[in-house]
Amino acid sequence: MALYSSFIAANKFGLGIQPGELTEIDSDPRGWLLAQLPLAVRLPPRYQGMEPSARLIQTAYDDYRARQMIQQDGRVSPNEVQQFREIRERNAAFFREQANQRLAVAIESDTPFAERLVRFWSNHFSISLGTNKPTTLYAGLAYENEAIRANMNGRFEEMLISVATHPVMLTYLDNITSIGPNSTAAQQRNGLGLNENYARETLELHTLGVDGGYTQDDVIALARILTGWTVNVPTRNGNLPNPQATPGSFVFYPVLHEPGTQQLLGKSYFNTGVQQGISALRDLARHPSTAYFIAGKLARHFVADQPPASAVEKLAQVFAQTQGDLPSLHTALVELDEAWDPAMKKLKTAEDFVVSTTRALPGVPLSDEVLKILTDTLASFNQRAFTAPSPAGWPEQAEHWGGPDALLKRIEFINMVGGAVGPDFDARDIAPLILPEDADLQTAVRRSESRTQALTLLLASPQFQWRA
């Protein structure tokens, strides 16, 4: 019989059990999780050879400009109509391919705890790609790998700075449109000025938290500090901000930067160019409010929607004592007794549900057709990759994922899966391999009128729907 702690390791910490996996986990569930942490920075095979974000952003910018030129042309030729259609199809195909590959990586992962951690931090530093930010449309996965995955074995402040200097985040939260009120550029351009969006989200969502002790004056100060942090794509005059830098990459553009000293949370930050922002971000990352805010989010994700204060306190102390060392923080998660309490449960999000269902079924080929069906399913659940409804990312609480409409969609997906695996598939064979022993559930599955009904009962059961 599998240890119940093995199911917790595979479901609450991981991405769902694959048949045969419990044998490996049973000997040491916590050790199985900890062994994955050094591998969190490893690039999954499906991502090998992926182009860097700078090149993808430049390609997306070129496509965007081509579309603009066609739309501005009062007389559109048949060739231009075809060109416009091809660009739109390329936009959609690239966006779909990112979603497909990201989903496949979760389903195939042999380090599911590490992969869940990458997705946790990616959601913490959430982005949303769309046609209103066309230059980033192709670079969602590149952002996740460059800013999040690459920093999983470092400190929180390094990830924060990597995110803050990533072209996708700067574009998504409008920092590329922010101009210091007294900068050289402001004196030349009327009607353009400071954009507080990224600074506000940095304080509210990425570091201190909404109750972290900052004021509107701090938002303004940080926004001024971050002016000039932009992307190396052509400006209005058609020139690159920095012709010597890689097109599509992060650059600091001094003509946009607000001069002078800024006061943030009672501390003075002298105008040292880009270093002014780096210093401010490091201090925000080390702030006590940040430790508790991050600890609360981790506990909410890995323990329960309303985590015990003791769990939050333990994580906050580790964060503070190690200056935000992420491997230490992730190790502390595994060592939390509260996380292993069977009473502490988490309802699977739509992505968790689709991923864990697919991982539970042996031999499902992840063909392009299957991946399209799965990503379309996530789109129907409103959780397609890189489409979070706000900079706060996807919500954690069960109330967002367990409403009547969402549950109906889950049943529809289960029925579709039942039809896809065919009449020869017997859910009774995999039930003990993916769920803890439960006499009532085992009886219900055994007494099912058909194998399809047995699978439906199995996947629709509370034991499968919840991460525990």
Cα–Cα dist 330/150, whole Å = 16
Same domain, 462 and 351: yes
Same domain, 18 and 83: no
**What are the helix and strand counts (H, E) for the chain?**
23, 6
Domain stop point among 154, 182, 197: 154
Quote the crossing angle between the two packed helices 427-434 and 451-460, to the nearest 10°: 20
Q: How far is CA 316 from CA 66, 154, 201, 288, in A?
A: 49, 17, 21, 8
Cα–Cα dist 357/352, whole Å = 8
pLDDT in tens, 311-359: 999 999 999 999 999 999 999 999 999 999 999 999 999 999 999 999 9
Residue 4: other Cβ atoms inside 10 A:
14
In a domain, 207, yes or no: no
Cα–Cα dist 276/174, whole Å = 19
DSSP assignment letter at 383 = -
Indicate the residue type of 168: V
In a domain, 359, yes or no: yes
pLDDT average, residue stretch 425-450: 79
Cα–Cα dist 95/386, whole Å = 9
Helix, strand or coil for residue 467? strand
Say what percent of the chain tops pLDDT 70: 98
Least Cα distance to 418 among 459, 389, 462 occurs for 459
pLDDT at residue 422 tops 60? yes
Same domain, 390 and 294: no
Cα–Cα dist 87/400, whole Å = 35
pLDDT average, residue stretch 198-203: 98
Task: Tell me if 102 sits within 8 A of 119, measured CB to CB.
Answer: no
Cα–Cα dist 96/160, whole Å = 28
pLDDT in tens, 212-236: 999 999 999 999 999 999 999 998 7
Q: Structural domain tally of the chain?
A: 3
Helix, strand or coil for residue 291? helix
In a domain, 131, yes or no: yes
pLDDT in tens, 131-149: 788 899 999 999 999 999 9
Q: Please tell me the predicted confidence (pLDDT) of residue 191.
A: 56
Sign of CA dihedral 27, 29, 35, 40: positive
Q: Please tell me the predicted confidence (pLDDT) of residue 434.
A: 84
Say what percent of the chain tops pLDDT 90: 75
What values do phi and psi take at 250, rounded to 5? Answer: -70, 140
- Domain assignment of residue 293, given as a range: 288-340
In a domain, 179, yes or no: no
Indicate the residue type of 81: V
In a domain, 249, yes or no: no
pLDDT in tens, 10-61: 999 999 999 888 889 999 999 999 999 999 999 999 999 999 999 999 999 9
The 8 Å CB, 24+ separation contacts for 363-372 are 364/421, 366/104, 366/107, 366/108, 368/100, 371/100, 371/101, 371/103, 371/104, 372/96, 372/100
Least Cα distance to 430 among 33, 25, 106, 16 occurs for 16
Q: Model's pTM, two decimal places? A: 0.95
pLDDT in tens, 189-199: 765 799 999 99
In a domain, 219, yes or no: no
pLDDT average, residue stretch 141-166: 98
pLDDT at residue 364 tops 60? yes
Domain stop point among 154, 174, 192: 154
Same domain, 459 and 367: yes
Same domain, 10 and 98: no
User: Encoding tokens for residue 141?
Assistant: 């996965």
- Sorted by sequence, the CB contacts under 8 Å of residue 57 that are 6+ apart come out as 135, 136, 138, 139, 167, 168, 231, 233, 248
281 CB burial (10 A radius; 0-12, 13-18, 19+) = buried
Domain stop point among 99, 120, 154: 154
In a domain, 103, yes or no: yes
Q: Pseudo-torsion of CA 201, 144, 62, 179, nearest 10°? A: 20
Same domain, 455 and 352: yes
Helix, strand or coil for residue 214? coil
Name beta bridge partners: 264.
267
Name beta bridge partners: 387.
128
Same domain, 11 and 58: no
Same domain, 321 and 432: no
In a domain, 74, yes or no: yes
Task: Tell me if 434 sits within 8 A of 7, measured CB to CB.
Answer: no
Same domain, 141 and 81: yes
Q: Please tell me the predicted confidence (pLDDT) of residue 2.
A: 65
Same domain, 40 and 146: yes
CB-side exposure of 364: number of CA atoms within 13 Å? 27
With left for phi above 0 and alpha for psi between -120 and 50, is residue 400 left, alpha or beta? alpha
Same domain, 102 and 21: no
CA diameter of the chain: 78
Q: How far is CA 118 from CA 141, 306, 454, in A?
A: 12, 22, 34
pLDDT in tens, 241-282: 999 999 999 999 999 999 999 999 999 999 999 999 999 999
Same domain, 397 and 448: yes
pLDDT at residue 158 tops 70? yes
Cα–Cα dist 55/62, whole Å = 11
